[in-house]
Amino acid sequence: LKDTATNLKNGQELTMNIISEAFVENVHATAVDAPPEFDEWALSGLTKDKCVPSHVKESTFSMECEVYITHPVIGEHNSMLILAYVKYFHV
Protein backbone atom coordinates (compact mmCIF):
# COMPACT_ATOMS: atom_id res chain seq x y z
CA LEU A 1 0.00 0.00 0.00
CA LYS A 2 1.06 3.60 -0.59
CA ASP A 3 1.87 5.86 2.38
CA THR A 4 -1.56 7.48 2.43
CA ALA A 5 -3.42 4.18 2.77
CA THR A 6 -1.00 2.96 5.43
CA ASN A 7 -1.39 6.19 7.43
CA LEU A 8 -5.18 6.08 7.18
CA LYS A 9 -5.27 2.45 8.25
CA ASN A 10 -3.73 3.73 11.49
CA GLY A 11 -6.61 6.20 11.96
CA GLN A 12 -5.12 9.50 10.84
CA GLU A 13 -6.98 12.41 9.30
CA LEU A 14 -6.82 13.25 5.61
CA THR A 15 -7.46 16.13 3.27
CA MET A 16 -9.00 15.60 -0.14
CA ASN A 17 -7.95 18.28 -2.61
CA ILE A 18 -9.83 19.13 -5.79
CA ILE A 19 -7.47 20.86 -8.19
CA SER A 20 -7.78 22.44 -11.62
CA GLU A 21 -6.43 20.76 -14.74
CA ALA A 22 -3.47 23.15 -14.82
CA PHE A 23 -1.94 21.31 -11.82
CA VAL A 24 -2.53 17.70 -12.89
CA GLU A 25 1.13 17.04 -13.77
CA ASN A 26 2.19 18.45 -10.41
CA VAL A 27 -0.11 16.05 -8.61
CA HIS A 28 1.03 13.10 -10.72
CA ALA A 29 4.59 13.76 -9.52
CA THR A 30 3.47 12.75 -6.01
CA ALA A 31 2.51 9.24 -7.16
CA VAL A 32 6.12 8.03 -7.40
CA ASP A 33 7.04 4.78 -5.70
CA ALA A 34 9.20 6.12 -2.88
CA PRO A 35 10.02 5.14 0.70
CA PRO A 36 7.78 6.59 3.46
CA GLU A 37 10.40 9.12 4.59
CA PHE A 38 10.59 10.69 1.09
CA ASP A 39 8.80 14.06 0.76
CA GLU A 40 6.67 14.05 -2.41
CA TRP A 41 5.81 17.72 -1.85
CA ALA A 42 9.33 18.63 -3.00
CA LEU A 43 8.70 16.94 -6.37
CA SER A 44 5.25 18.43 -6.93
CA GLY A 45 6.05 22.13 -6.97
CA LEU A 46 2.76 22.66 -5.09
CA THR A 47 2.39 24.71 -1.92
CA LYS A 48 1.66 22.98 1.39
CA ASP A 49 -0.84 25.10 3.31
CA LYS A 50 -0.35 25.51 7.05
CA CYS A 51 -3.50 23.82 8.32
CA VAL A 52 -3.52 20.33 9.88
CA PRO A 53 -3.93 18.07 8.07
CA SER A 54 -2.12 19.92 5.29
CA HIS A 55 -3.86 20.73 2.05
CA VAL A 56 -2.70 21.94 -1.35
CA LYS A 57 -2.87 25.74 -1.42
CA GLU A 58 -3.46 25.71 -5.22
CA SER A 59 -6.55 23.48 -4.88
CA THR A 60 -9.95 24.84 -5.89
CA PHE A 61 -11.37 23.44 -2.68
CA SER A 62 -10.29 20.98 -0.03
CA MET A 63 -12.14 18.74 2.38
CA GLU A 64 -10.68 17.95 5.80
CA CYS A 65 -11.82 14.47 6.75
CA GLU A 66 -11.71 12.05 9.65
CA VAL A 67 -11.36 8.34 8.91
CA TYR A 68 -14.53 6.36 9.64
CA ILE A 69 -13.43 2.91 8.47
CA THR A 70 -10.81 1.27 6.29
CA HIS A 71 -11.34 -2.06 4.59
CA PRO A 72 -8.84 -4.07 2.53
CA VAL A 73 -9.90 -4.94 -1.01
CA ILE A 74 -8.11 -8.08 -2.11
CA GLY A 75 -7.81 -8.86 -5.79
CA GLU A 76 -5.38 -8.51 -8.66
CA HIS A 77 -4.05 -5.37 -6.94
CA ASN A 78 -4.29 -4.97 -3.19
CA SER A 79 -6.26 -1.83 -2.42
CA MET A 80 -7.90 -0.10 0.50
CA LEU A 81 -11.46 1.20 0.68
CA ILE A 82 -11.46 4.30 2.87
CA LEU A 83 -14.67 5.88 4.18
CA ALA A 84 -14.35 9.22 5.91
CA TYR A 85 -16.46 12.03 7.40
CA VAL A 86 -15.99 15.48 5.89
CA LYS A 87 -15.42 17.88 8.80
CA TYR A 88 -14.49 21.12 6.99
CA PHE A 89 -14.55 22.56 3.48
CA HIS A 90 -11.96 25.11 2.33
CA VAL A 91 -12.99 27.04 -0.78
Q: Each residue of 19-28: pLDDT tens digit?
A: 999 999 998 8
Q: Each residue of 5-17: pLDDT tens digit?
A: 777 877 788 889 9
Burial 8-18 (b: 16+ CB within 10 A, else e): beeeeebbebe
Kindly report the CA angle at 85 between 19 and 10, in degrees rounded to 5?
Answer: 95
pTM of the model: 0.74
Q: DSSP state, 77? A: S
**Order of strands, edge to edge, in the sheet holding 79-90?**
13-18, 61-73, 79-90
- Residue 54 Cα to chain centre, angstroms: 9
